[in-house]
Structure 1
């Protein structure tokens, strides 16, 4: 399976999964990375890793349909099989979601369906958990669909919310489990896809 990543900033999931591929912990090949941010550190990192890269954004393609088409063209040229959103701060269009249905993954820093949806990302999620008085938080890997954070959940791991937790302490606890959770989810999805393909 060829992995493609979409990142807006540092691309931590892309880095961890690529490292896992290089170490033989994940039977896949990282091939490409797209960023909507021309200054994204993930773009520089991906170039150094030998991945095919592209800066594709609304600034280049003001029409969302054109941007959707450009992303899909790039992914097809890169021969991508599976898409991983690695801190990608834009919605994917219907062409990409249709072409890669069941093959686009995202990780969200809460126990979905709690604290998901439009506008819920990054620090906002952890603050919402604290403000709600939740006793547990965590991370969820889910398939990406047209609805924000509404796709089928593939993997979920819980961490405690401790008395006296701050945004920083809770965020650090959740981030500590994200890499391993994403790796397991990608590994399981690849195994499921291969099994399905062998049955056809």
Structure 2
């Protein structure tokens, strides 16, 4: 049985998509979802999906490292950041080398780094009149969006596209390819 732990900060739409993708796969268990946001909608999604969701504080994550200790106890095969906005401390990366992955809503190395998430990314793509955007699934290291790339998928951006249009196209790529990339990594 392969164990996945998910981290999210917001609505949890990618979490729900991943859970649904693996729901009928008896060799994969979504062990838990961790969130740093006590008001995140992902908490409600987890309740409906019957998945354990744990809220944690900055202190639990960075100072006393209680979240890291819980992860070590779970022994996940993969830790998936699905809309998680905090930088992962070095202690986590060292404890789980090449076992923490993230999805970014752009074609890295463009539009990555601190503050480049969600709508901020799509607005930058439109403002810079890019002809394409997409998603990057990558390993996590101690820096925002700088880990080795696992997979990228592209979508075209037209001159008439708004940031919302780009977001819609990018979300479709996330929902289609993120679970597949996770599955592929678990089968390695």
Q: TM-score, normalised by structure 1?
A: 0.87
Could you report, residue by residue, the CA deviation over 1:32-58 in whole angstroms, capped at 9, with x for unpaired residues?
011111122212322343333321112
2:116 alignment partner, SS class: coil
The aligned counterpart of 1:35 is: 35
Contact 1:141 1:181 (C-alpha < 8 Å) held by counterparts:
no
Q: TM-score, normalised by structure 2?
A: 0.92
Quick check: 1:5 aligned with 2:6? yes
The runs of 5 or more residues in structure 2 that have no matched partner are none
1:46 alignment partner, SS class: helix
Q: How far off is 1:76 after superposition?
A: 2.6
**Residues 51/75 of structure 1: CA separation in 2 closer, same or farther (3 Å cut):** farther
1:150 alignment partner, SS class: coil
**Residues 47/63 of structure 1: CA separation in 2 closer, same or farther (3 Å cut):** closer
Q: How far off is 1:80 after superposition?
A: 2.1
The runs of 5 or more residues in structure 1 that have no matched partner are 193-200
Q: How far off is 1:27 after superposition?
A: 4.2
Quick check: 1:74 aligned with 2:70? yes
The aligned counterpart of 1:65 is: 63
Q: How far off is 1:62 after superposition?
A: 7.6
Distance between the aligned counterparts of 2:171 and 2:50, measured in 1?
A: 27
Contact 2:133 2:157 (C-alpha < 8 Å) held by counterparts:
yes
Quick check: 1:120 aligned with 2:121? no
The count of residues paired between Structure 1 and Structure 2 equals 187
The aligned counterpart of 1:198 is: none
Which of 78, 85, 99 is the equivalent residue of 2:81? 85
The aligned counterpart of 1:195 is: none
The aligned counterpart of 1:196 is: none
What is the aligned-residue RMSD (CA, Å)? 1.7
Which of 160, 163, 167 is the equivalent residue of 1:164? 160
**Residues 89/180 of structure 1: CA separation in 2 closer, same or farther (3 Å cut):** same
